[in-house]
Chain A
Amino acid sequence: MRLQYPSNVKIIQVPCSGRVDIIHLLRAVEDGADAVFVAGCLEGECHYLTGNLKARKRVNYVKKTLEELGIEPERVEMFNLSSGEGPRFAEIVREMVVRAKELGPSPIRISKAA
Chain B
Amino acid sequence: MIVAERKPLNDIVKMVEPYRKVLILGCKGCVTVCNAGGVKEVGILASALKIAAKKEGKELIVGERTLERQCDPEYIEQVKDVIGEYEAVVSIACGVGPQFLAERYPETDIFPGVNTEFMGGALAHGVWTERCAGCGACLVHNFGGYCPIARCSKSLLNGPCGGSADGKCEIDKNVDCVWHLIVEKLTRQGKLDNLLQVQPPKSWTTARDGGPRKVIREDLAQ
Given known A107-B55, A108-B55, contact A69–B43 (CB-CB < 8 A): no
Interface presence of B104 (CB below 8 A): no
Complex CA–CA separation, A107 to B51 (angstroms)? 9
Given known A23-B40, A23-B43, A65-B9, contact A114–B57 (CB-CB < 8 A): yes
Given known A30-B50, A111-B56, contact A68–B10 (CB-CB < 8 A): yes
Q: Which residues of A contact B56 (CB under 8 A)?
A: 111
Greatest chain A CB density within 10 A among B13, B48, B50, B52 is at B48
Complex CA–CA separation, A107 to B8 (angstroms)? 21
6 other A-B residue contacts (CB within 8 Å) besides A23-B40, A23-B47, A30-B47: A26-B47, A30-B50, A30-B51, A69-B55, A70-B55, A108-B55
Q: Which residues of B contact A22 (CB under 8 A)?
A: 44
**B residues lining the A interface (CB < 8 Å):** 8-10, 13, 40, 43-44, 47-48, 50-52, 54-57
B56 to chain A: closest residue by CB:
A111
Establish whether residues B10 and A71, one from each chain, have CB atoms under 8 Å apart when the complex forms: no
Least CB distance, B42 to chain A, in whole angstroms: 10
Least CB distance, A64 to chain B, in whole angstroms: 9
The residue from B8, B44, B50, B54 contacting A68, defined by CB atoms under 8 A apart: B8
Q: Which residues of B contact A29 (CB under 8 A)?
A: 51
14 contacts between A and B (CB under 8 A): A26-B44, A26-B47, A26-B48, A26-B51, A65-B44, A65-B48, A66-B51, A69-B10, A69-B13, A69-B51, A70-B55, A108-B51, A108-B54, A111-B54
Report whether over half of chain A's contact residues are helix, strand or loop; otherwise say mixed: helix
Range class of the A interface residue count: 10 to 19
Least CB distance, A28 to chain B, in whole angstroms: 10
A112 to chain B: closest residue by CB:
B54
Q: Which residues of B contact A65 (CB under 8 A)?
A: 9, 44, 48
The residue from B43, B47, B51 contacting A71, defined by CB atoms under 8 A apart: B51
Give a binary string over A57-100; 1 marks a CB under 8 Å from any B CB, 0 the rest. Answer: 00000000110111100000000000000000000000000000
Given known A23-B40, A26-B44, A111-B57, contact A68–B9 (CB-CB < 8 A): yes
Q: Which residues of B contact A68 (CB under 8 A)?
A: 8-10
